[in-house]
């Protein structure tokens, strides 16, 4: 008994010592403040606002199973009107409504590509301003696509327009791309990639949407932070099917298909079946954010070597978004049973959307969930299987270039790597590029985040100049 007590005391002493080390490290950490606030030129802002408003007024909804190339060709005419010099000076390639421009540089070494998508999601419901009005009010441009992502399409075309008018020639080839199928996971971006691949193009950097300048990204972290997406999780759709002989509902047996599906869903909801881990990029994110936090959060974020086990437990409870960066996720989205209230189904199913984390991977994650489903006599049908994208080297030249451009264009902003839990067109470019960065250089506050794919989508007018300047900086940075 005496030796057990000594062992316990020794463990306590070690923990106290480690905690003391963490406290000292935190006390010595230099604190920072994310104090970037946009202060744009009113004349420039007015020009950008009017252009974005006109782009929003042209409806570019994409729908699965509906190919409407003519709609996007009409939108291209809007772009040609708004950015005439780009269309006059650059080499344009149109592929089934998808756009690619080549700006020939002094060299073809280390070419870059900036991109974002033309298409938008549907705009149902009761909006404050009509969703395709492009209304300018309350210091914002309103409408579907303002923040996702016609704001960035406007910004990089405008950046090129201004530089071309100045007679600028880039040091390397610059490509500008925009697909019309991003919102439906279509083949627009792959067609552009295949075209470039056939031309033998190997890109040094791709800059797409995915991250952004986020207001107050985590509870307790205040200010505007450039969250730079360095990889995205794999996308998957899965169907779970339970079968039986059916029967009349007046004499129900045990473990009907719906009962088994319910038990399965409840089990997954109760306990995450997937491995929870901190990838190096996620650790880097918290390390970058730590100096901006109060002492308590700074203690935890800045000392993950000690608090990582605790964070694995608590983070998913605190924030679903943060928790999604640590493991594969599954969300049950659709279900189907019999067509009658009094009929036990011979077959019932529930569908789910999965997002696969690199450290467990697509195939391993599917094996985990399939084995769990088998315990409830449920079959698993993989409807769509995608894989996580390769990760950008956060210590590499391309990432550092983007980081430098951010710091110069948005002085005082915090900057951190970020895991993209959704899906973007950038994932297709890994075939021809090792550094596919996801970053839209506009400020997304809570209102803008809520409006994306929802009601009353808008973007703050004062954020547009910074976006234009960012793309100009990326294009004109010293020879790589």
Q: How far apart are CA 398 and CA 104, in angstroms?
A: 20
**CATH architecture of residue range(s) 234-385:** 2-Layer Sandwich (3.30)
Q: Which residue has the tokens 């709609």?
A: 71
Residue 443 token pair = 């400020």
Predicted confidence (pLDDT) per residue in 186-237, tens digit: 999 999 999 999 999 999 999 999 999 999 988 888 999 999 999 999 999 9
pLDDT, residue 344, reads 92
* Mean pLDDT, the chain, integer: 93
Asked whether 192 and 117 are in contact (CB, 8 A), the reply is: no
User: Which CATH fold topology does 42-229+393-476 show?
Assistant: Aminopeptidase (3.40.630)
Count of CB atoms within 10 A of residue 108's CB?
12
Give the C-alpha separation, 428 to 179, whole Å: 12
Q: What is the pLDDT of residue 2?
A: 66
CA distance readout (Å), 282 to 54, 114, 275, 289, 310: 39, 25, 15, 11, 15
Q: Which two tokens stand for residue 105?
A: 């540089």
Nearest to 405 by CA among 463, 467, 465: 467
Tell me whether the omega of the peptide bond preceding residue 149 falls within 30 degrees of 0, making it cis.
yes
pLDDT for position 1: 64
pLDDT of the residue at 478: 59
User: Please, where in the chain does CATH 3.30.70.360 lie?
Assistant: 234-385
Pairing of strands 140-142, 136-137: antiparallel
- pLDDT digits 0-9 by tens, 140-169: 999 999 999 999 999 999 999 999 999 999
pLDDT score for 66: 85
Backbone Cα Rg of the chain: 25
pLDDT on residue 11:
66
Residue spans in the chain of domains classed CATH 3.40.630.10: 42-229+393-476
Q: Which parts of the chain sit beneath pLDDT 50?
A: 480
Distance between terminal CA atoms of the chain? 67
């Amino acid at each position: 008994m005496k030796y057990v007590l000594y062992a316990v005391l020794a463990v306590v002493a070690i923990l106290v010592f480690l905690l003391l080390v963490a406290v000292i490290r935190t006390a010595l950490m230099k604190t920072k403040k994310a104090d970037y606030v946009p202060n744009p030129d009113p004349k420039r802002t007015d020009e950008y606002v009017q252009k974005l408003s006109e782009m929003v007024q042209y409806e570019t909804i994409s729908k699965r199973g509906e190919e409407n190339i003519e709609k996007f060709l009409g939108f291209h005419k809007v772009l040609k009107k708004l950015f005439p010099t780009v269309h006059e000076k650059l080499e344009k390639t149109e592929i089934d409504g998808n756009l690619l421009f080549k700006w020939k540089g002094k060299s073809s070494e280390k070419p870059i590509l900036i991109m974002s998508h033309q298409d938008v999601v549907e705009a149902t419901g009761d909006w404050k301003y009509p969703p395709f009005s492009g209304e300018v009010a309350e210091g914002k441009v309103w409408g579907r696509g303002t923040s996702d992502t016609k704001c960035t399409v406007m910004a990089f075309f405008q950046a090129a327009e201004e530089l071309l008018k100045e007679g600028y020639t880039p040091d390397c080839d610059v490509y500008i791309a925009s697909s019309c199928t991003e919102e439906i996971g279509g083949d627009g971006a792959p067609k552009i990639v295949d075209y470039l691949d056939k031309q033998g193009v190997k890109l040094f950097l791709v800059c797409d949407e995915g991250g952004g300048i986020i207001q107050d990204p985590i509870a307790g972290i205040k200010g505007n932070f450039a969250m730079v997406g360095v990889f995205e999780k794999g996308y998957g759709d899965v169907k779970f099917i339970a079968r039986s002989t059916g029967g009349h509902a007046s004499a129900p047996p045990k473990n009907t298909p719906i009962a088994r599906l319910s038990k399965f869903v409840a089990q997954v909801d109760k306990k995450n079946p997937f491995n929870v881990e901190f990838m190096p990029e996620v650790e880097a994110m918290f390390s970058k954010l730590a100096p901006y936090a109060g002492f308590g959060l700074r203690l935890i974020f800045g000392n993950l070597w000690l608090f990582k086990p605790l964070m694995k437990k608590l983070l998913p409870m605190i924030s679903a978004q943060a928790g999604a960066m640590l493991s594969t996720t599954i969300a049950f989205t659709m279900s189907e049973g019999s067509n009658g209230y009094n009929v036990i189904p011979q077959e019932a199913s529930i569908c789910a959307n999965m997002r696969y984390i690199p450290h467990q991977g697509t195939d391993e994650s599917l094996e985990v969930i399939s084995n769990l489903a088998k315990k409830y006599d449920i079959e698993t049908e993989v409807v769509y299987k995608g894989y996580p994208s390769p990760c950008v080297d956060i210590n590499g030249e391309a990432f550092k270039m983007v980081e430098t451009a951010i710091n110069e264009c948005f002085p005082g902003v915090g900057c951190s790597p970020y895991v993209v839990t959704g899906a973007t067109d950038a994932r297709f470019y890994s075939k021809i590029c090792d550094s596919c960065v996801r970053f839209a250089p506009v400020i997304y506050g809570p209102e803008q985040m809520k409006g994306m794919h929802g009601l009353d989508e808008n973007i703050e007018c004062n954020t547009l100049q910074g976006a234009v300047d960012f793309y100009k900086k990326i294009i004109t940075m010293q020879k790589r």
